């Protein structure tokens, strides 16, 4: 697997300070073999490897990650990108009913998917209607009805005993029925063949033209490997589709189909099916698929932690500055921005050293997010020299800052005074709690 191969390649990178070109080439070779073994299409592999190499060569020496970890991080990020990046949600019509049409080869899992989708949509408060347009196989309509019953939804089917009906007509009447009876989503199940053929494509595009779907989902069995690409291209050219559903991911599929289909057709993967039961189904998440293909969940967690620890090192550096009384307004702003990224100020207070002391609690209780906005605006209005050395902020500078930040001079006075006061207090507290370095005095 990719993770085994990568593991071997990366073992050689351990302990190195920097990635050499030879290291990158060797690692890229292993990734290439692993992807080909996972049935990823050759052009997709080529493009992928080229991007990995380029990024690895340009990678800055990271203080948080060793070279092996850096490579894994890059491969993981590129995998996620190839798989579509963000999770794509299903598109529904502004005016119901929305129409979702399923297309794909026979046995790809369309009828099963119809039931899974219906169950899932129902769970979200929708009222889906299944429409049986596979009139090819004798038992197909019945199979959809059974699946519909299990999902607890209604199935619209041609009346039995009328001979072979016209699937285009059934589709049209099905959508009209949904409009009549206030179903808000129509799921159209269609026929498939064992291989791609012209008649099948024609029928599917006739149905498409009759019901004008909001989503046409190409359903593909992840276990067909390399064939997935040719099939996807045939359906793209013959019918067109707006999204992909991968089925049978519970088999030993290594994810090659996922990578290829998305990259070759440019259409996003919306859902993944991983079993025969209706609940074996989920929205497709590129990041989860990437870590499955990479098979390095633990290492990825480690990498995340390492990067967090690195942030902690930065925080320690700031703590040292606090301890020695060298904190500048620039540090103050940096800290504030970093803290705000983590959420509302109230959630973060508990993490600060000394947050449990009585005075600290009282001081922190007075800080709210709106006040932070104002402080941020004022500091942004200062020049770098002023932020570095707040002592130079005299009367005329205060007026200029106030005007530039849209606050009053007394707001600026307030901030500057509070900053000096805080610096003094923090320094004293730092000594008390035993963090922070030197005893250089400034204020």
Binding residues for GTP are 104-111, 189-193, 247-250
Partner whose footprint covers residue 169, from Mg ion, ligand GDP, none (CB < 5 to 8 Å by kind): none
Partner whose footprint covers residue 354, from ligand GDP, Mg ion, none (CB < 5 to 8 Å by kind): none
Q: Which is nearer to Mg ion, 136 or 226 (CB)?
A: 136
Using CA atoms, how far residue 319 sits from 45, 119, 361, in Å, is: 47, 54, 19
Compute the distance between CA of residue 9 and CA of residue 388 in angstroms, rounded to an integer. Answer: 47
- The CB-nearest residue to Mg ion is 111
Compute the distance between CA of residue 291 and CA of residue 281 in angstroms, rounded to an integer. Answer: 18
261 touches 232 (CB < 8 A): yes
Number of residues that bind Mg ion (CB under 5 A): 2
Shortest Å distance, C-beta 54 to Mg ion? 44
Using CA atoms, how far residue 37 sits from 9, 43, 49, 113, in Å, is: 16, 14, 14, 28
125 touches 184 (CB < 8 A): no
Partner whose footprint covers residue 154, from Mg ion, ligand GDP, none (CB < 5 to 8 Å by kind): none
Shortest Å distance, C-beta 190 to ligand GDP? 9
Partner whose footprint covers residue 274, from Mg ion, ligand GDP, none (CB < 5 to 8 Å by kind): ligand GDP
**Which residues lie near ligand GDP (CB under 6 A)?**
104, 106-112, 192, 247-248, 250, 273-276, 280
Shortest Å distance, C-beta 142 to ligand GDP? 11
Token pair of 399 as six digits: 């007026």
Shortest Å distance, C-beta 132 to Mg ion? 9
Shortest Å distance, C-beta 102 to ligand GDP? 8
205 touches 120 (CB < 8 A): no
x/- letters, 76..115, toward Mg ion (CB under 5 A): ----------------------------------xx----
Partner whose footprint covers residue 273, from ligand GDP, Mg ion, none (CB < 5 to 8 Å by kind): ligand GDP
Give backbone dihedrals phi and psi of 296, rounded to 5 degrees, phi first.
-130, 40
Compute the distance between CA of residue 7 and CA of residue 55 in angstroms, rounded to an integer. Answer: 19
Give backbone dihedrals phi and psi of 218, rounded to 5 degrees, phi first.
-90, 115
Q: In which element (H, E) is residue 98 found?
A: strand 98-103
Instruction: List residues binding Mg ion (CB under 5 A).
Output: 110-111
């Amino acid at each position: 697997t990719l993770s085994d191969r990568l593991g071997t390649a990366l073992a050689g990178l351990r302990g190195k300070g920097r990635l050499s070109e030879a290291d990158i080439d060797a690692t890229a070779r292993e990734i290439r073999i692993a992807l080909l073994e996972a049935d990823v299409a050759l052009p997709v592999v080529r493009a992928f490897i080229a991007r990995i190499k380029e990024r690895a060569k340009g990678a800055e020496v990271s203080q948080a990650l060793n070279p092996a970890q850096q490579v894994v991080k890059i491969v993981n990020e590129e995998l996620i990108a190839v798989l579509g990046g963000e999770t794509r949600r299903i598109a529904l019509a502004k005016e119901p009913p929305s129409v979702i049409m399923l297309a794909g080869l026979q046995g790809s899992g369309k009828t099963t998917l119809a039931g899974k989708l219906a169950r899932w949509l129902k769970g979200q408060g929708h009222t889906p209607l299944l429409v049986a347009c596979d009139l090819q196989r004798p038992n197909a309509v019945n199979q959809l009805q059974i699946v519909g019953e299990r999902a607890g939804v209604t199935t619209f089917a041609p009346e039995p005993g009328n001979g072979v009906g016209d699937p285009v007509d059934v589709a049209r009447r099905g959508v009209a029925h949904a409009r009549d009876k206030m179903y808000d989503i129509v799921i159209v199940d269609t026929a498939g063949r064992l291989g791609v053929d012209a008649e099948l494509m024609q029928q599917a595009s006739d149905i498409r033209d009759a019901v004008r779907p909001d989503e046409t989902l190409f359903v593909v069995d992840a276990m067909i490997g390399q064939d997935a690409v040719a099939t996807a291209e045939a359906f793209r050219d013959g019918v067109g589709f707006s999204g992909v559903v991968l089925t049978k991911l519970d088999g030993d599929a290594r994810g090659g189909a996922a990578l290829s289909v998305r990259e070759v057709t440019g259409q996003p993967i919306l859902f993944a099916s991983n079993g025969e039961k209706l609940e074996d189904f989920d929205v497709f998440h590129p990041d989860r698929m990437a870590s499955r293909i990479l098979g390095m969940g633990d290492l990825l967690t480690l990498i995340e932690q390492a990067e967090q620890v690195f942030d902690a090192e930065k925080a320690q550096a700031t703590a040292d500055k606090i301890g020695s009384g060298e904190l500048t307004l620039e540090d103050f702003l940096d800290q504030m921005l970093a803290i705000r990224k983590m959420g509302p100020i109230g959630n973060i207070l508990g993490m600060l050293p000394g947050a449990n002391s009585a005075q600290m609690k009282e001081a922190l209780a007075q800080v709210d997010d709106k006040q932070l906005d104002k402080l941020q605006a004022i500091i942004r209005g200062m020049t770098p020299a002023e932020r570095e050395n707040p002592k130079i902020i005299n009367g005329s500078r205060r007026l200029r800052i106030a005007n530039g930040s849209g606050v009053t001079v007394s707001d600026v006075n307030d901030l500057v005074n509070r900053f000096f006061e805080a610096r003094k207090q923090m320094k004293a507290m730092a000594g008390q709690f035993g963090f922070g370095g030197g005893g250089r005095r400034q204020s």
